[in-house]
Amino acid sequence: MTTDDTLAELLLRWEELHEQGRDVPAEELCRDCPQLAAALADRIRALRVTAWMDGPDDDGGTPPDPPDPNPPSTLAGRYRLDEKVAEGGFAEVWKGFDLELRRAVAVKMPKPGRLHSTERFLAEARRVARLKHPGVVPVFDVGQERESCFIVSEFVEGGSLADRIATNRPMANDAARMVAEVAETLAYAHRQGFVHRDIKPGNILLDHHGRALLTDFGIAHSPDEGTDGGSFGTLAYMSAEQVEGKPVDHRTDIYGLGVVLHELLTGYLPYKADDPVQLRRLIVAGGVASIPGVSKEGEGVCRKCLSRNPADRYQDAAELAQELRRTAFTLRPARISQRLLALVVVAFIGLIGFFAVRPVLDRNQSPVAEAKATPPNEKRAVEWVYSVGGTVNDTKRIDQLAEPWAVRSVYLHRDRCDGKVTDAGLAQLEGLPDLDTLNLGGAKIDGSGVAHLRDSKKLKWLSLECTQVDDAGVVNLAGYSELAYLNLLSTPVTDAAVDVLAKLSRLEMVVVSGTKMTEAGVEKLRKALPSCRVVMDVKAGLKALSELGELHFGKQEWDKAAAVFTEAINLDPQCAEAYHRRAGCSYNTGKLKESLPDFDTAARLDPKNPEVYKNRAFVYLRLLRVDEGLADLTHAQELDPAHPERYRQPMSLALAQRGVVKAQANKVDEAIADFGEALRLDPNNAELFDKRGSLHFNRKHFNEAVADFTEAVRLDPKTPSYRLHLEMSRNPPNPK
């Protein structure tokens, strides 16, 4: 028997005695092998920690202090605590508001009695704050308040992956993409010497684009910082070496990602038991059951991550990320009748009143590629520029969009460019005479770079929110006589800027919330521009932005509408309707998958709004995610029982779409039943009768086929194919 086998048996013996109420020291259990006492003691300590994290304290130690009955409402005179959004065994997380920078933040505070070393906690937080990667939720600040500490980080509006799994588990390939994003982030953290050790869905956040971000490095350690006590984490996501208290390294994080991937693919954990002791035994024993509904290659990736032996796992998170991105996880479905599928999809497009669909570019094709593909004699505008070429600072490639293709709208907001656009970078925007929309929110600019826009005299929409543009920077706006919308939210602008702004006679709206402008300055500006809405508070700003967004939406200016709704979200991350409308903009530009995170957030913030579920159902059905679409339509109808007529036709076509999928899977009886339900909701649909008749005909149920084709002809006598199908069913080639 190996040393590991002996330790495993001794640990099981200790667990059994512990369950009986006997706390036997390691030395007593190791009387026959005293050389193993220290190693066994380490593993017992590991079990005590995981038991504490998964249930009430049972280690005989001092119980935690009770919750503070009067938690501070503001920390450090700066961070207002608005709402507790998460709570664990060690800490709680609040949604807060930074009163200085006027932005939403997340504030994490250890629970009373859980923090053993303030100095170590703060040192660790500062070390984590040095991590700079698009996939790491950035830490803004750390500090002390009363007897505790706090960490301030970016508030990620999309919620956690745990929330997503609970409400709307992503499809297999989307799940793989999310895990790949986290793996790329871990590859960076591992290179910096970090091992996270608590990879789980609750520590993976999703921004409003659905991008996965990693948070809660609070228990992360360098490999040389005593990782032999490697048990910290959440038991269900721990590797065997963590559970046993053995040394851990970056491959422990890869195991945790494997557990997350398994949960995303299946909806359940690879090992599950109500009893923590039993769960630890399952993890240590290893061995994962087959993973249904996933390609063989995808299952192989997941199994390799979950290998019992760290040497059998991926040895590098970057390697895992590459494997995830090149592996198809979804099983290839059987071929669907294209004519029938076209019927259903076209019918859905015709139904949608909230949305209006138009042709769009392939979302994987960059605006640069589109511009170069346009013949020079067709002076065609590139309507919208996000991160050109996927770079961090896309201004460095704007020059590739020179005439004859006029750039009209440029979006360099921090959520696309990581806030790295500078005043110097704006030099690339010179020579864009047709530019009318520019979003620089969160960019590292003070306004001097605005001078580079001297050729863009048609500029009508400009956002400078959360930049360092001050009064001197505003001076550079003089001469932009066409400017209609200006956002100066949370900039250091003062009353000194009023004289410059007053000369922008066509301004229809200017946002000055969170600036240093006084009431007197605002009143002066209102008098100078009586037709301009000067917005100084959040509520008024939201109302004004909503009206502006609806104006663009009504004109089918989807990109501009999306930019306005993004402004509304920045102003109030809890504005459900802004997410809902921005999702509609994504839908209308053909970005179906991209619209889902916004729909998900809208549903979470406003769970009683039937329109959100109905419109998200249309997206699911266009993506052939029929069951999810039906579930949303059913829920919308439950929320809106007074208007059943709104849901009959979409429900009917959704059932028909499911019938198509089942027919192609040779589940013909179920397909016929679905068409029957569809016809019950829409009994005057000749096409549905014809399609159900075809299913009966293929099964040689000719009497039923005749009845359906007869009804199709009665409802639509002008369609020749219905008459042809009826004649064929009356005179079948092989009636037996």
Q: Are 696 and 709 in contact (CB under 8 A)?
A: no
Banded model confidence at residue 239, pLDDT cuts 50, 70, 90: very high
Averaging pLDDT over each range in 230-239, 312-321, 434-443, which range is the top one? 312-321
Give pLDDT, residue 359. 28
Banded model confidence at residue 414, pLDDT cuts 50, 70, 90: low
**Is 216 a known active-site residue?**
no
What letter does residue 68 receive in the DSSP assignment? P
Q: Are 240 and 312 in contact (CB under 8 A)?
A: no
Residue 430 predicted with pLDDT over 90: no
Burial of 468 (0-12, 13-18, 19+ CB in 10 A): middle
Banded model confidence at residue 128, pLDDT cuts 50, 70, 90: confident
Give pLDDT, residue 71. 59
Tokens of 339: 């004519």
Q: Which amino acid is at 271?
A: Y
Give pLDDT, residue 121. 76
Q: Which of 28-32, 84-88, 160-164, 597-601 has the lowest mean pLDDT?
A: 84-88
Residue 250 predicted with pLDDT over 90: yes
Q: What's the whole-number mean pLDDT along residues 323-349? A: 56
Burial of 465 (0-12, 13-18, 19+ CB in 10 A): buried
What residue ranges define each of the domains in the chain, with the CATH number in brackets? 3-54 (no CATH), 75-154 (3.30.200.20), 161-326 (1.10.510.10), 367-536 (3.80.10.10)
Q: What is the DSSP string of 292-347?
A: TTB-HHHHHHHHHHT-SSGGGS-S-HHHHHHHHHH---BPPPPPP-HHHHHHHHHH
Q: How far apart are CA 541 and CA 369, in angstroms?
A: 37
Banded model confidence at residue 89, pLDDT cuts 50, 70, 90: low
Q: How far apart are CA 545 and CA 540, in angstroms?
A: 9
The number of beta carbons lying within 10 Å of the beta carbon of residue 537 is: 10
Cis before residue 404, ω within 30 degrees of 0? yes
Q: How far apart are CA 195 and CA 104, in angstroms?
A: 28
The better pLDDT of the pair 399, 115 is held by: 115
Q: To which H or E segment does residue 276 belong?
A: helix 276-285
Q: Are 299 and 290 in contact (CB under 8 A)?
A: yes
Residue 161 predicted with pLDDT over 90: yes
Computed over every residue of the chain, the mean pLDDT equals 78
Q: Which of 132-136, 244-248, 541-545 has the lowest mean pLDDT?
A: 541-545
Residue 381 predicted with pLDDT over 60: no
Q: Which of 4-8, 400-404, 491-495, 584-588 has the lowest mean pLDDT?
A: 400-404
Give pLDDT, residue 415. 53
CA-closest candidate to residue 543, choices 509, 590, 515, 516: 509
Residue 388 predicted with pLDDT over 50: no
Give pLDDT, residue 491. 87
Q: How far apart are CA 420 and CA 139, in angstroms?
A: 17
Tokens of 24: 């036997």
Give pLDDT, residue 436. 78
Give pLDDT, residue 201. 94
Q: Which of 160-169, 202-211, 381-390, 629-638 has the lowest mean pLDDT?
A: 381-390
Sign of the C-alpha dihedral computed for residues 273, 276, 279 and 281 taken in this order: negative
Give pLDDT, residue 4. 67
Q: pLDDT by residue (tens digit) across 273-302?
A: 777 878 888 888 888 877 777 888 889 999
Banded model confidence at residue 218, pLDDT cuts 50, 70, 90: low
Banded model confidence at residue 213, pLDDT cuts 50, 70, 90: very high
What are the two backbone dihedrals, phi and then psi, of residue 664, each rounded to the nearest 5 degrees? -70, -20
Burial of 531 (0-12, 13-18, 19+ CB in 10 A): exposed
Give pLDDT, residue 368. 32
Tell me which of 198, 598, 632, 708 is the catalytic residue.
198
Q: pLDDT by residue (tens digit) across 665-712?
A: 788 899 999 999 999 999 999 989 998 998 988 888 889 999 999 999
Give pLDDT, residue 418. 52
Which residues make Cβ contacts (< 8 Å) with residue 578, sequence separation at least 6?
A: 542, 545, 546, 549, 565, 566, 568, 569, 572
Banded model confidence at residue 221, pLDDT cuts 50, 70, 90: very low
Give pLDDT, residue 269. 92
Give pLDDT, residue 282. 86
The number of beta carbons lying within 10 Å of the beta carbon of residue 403 is: 12
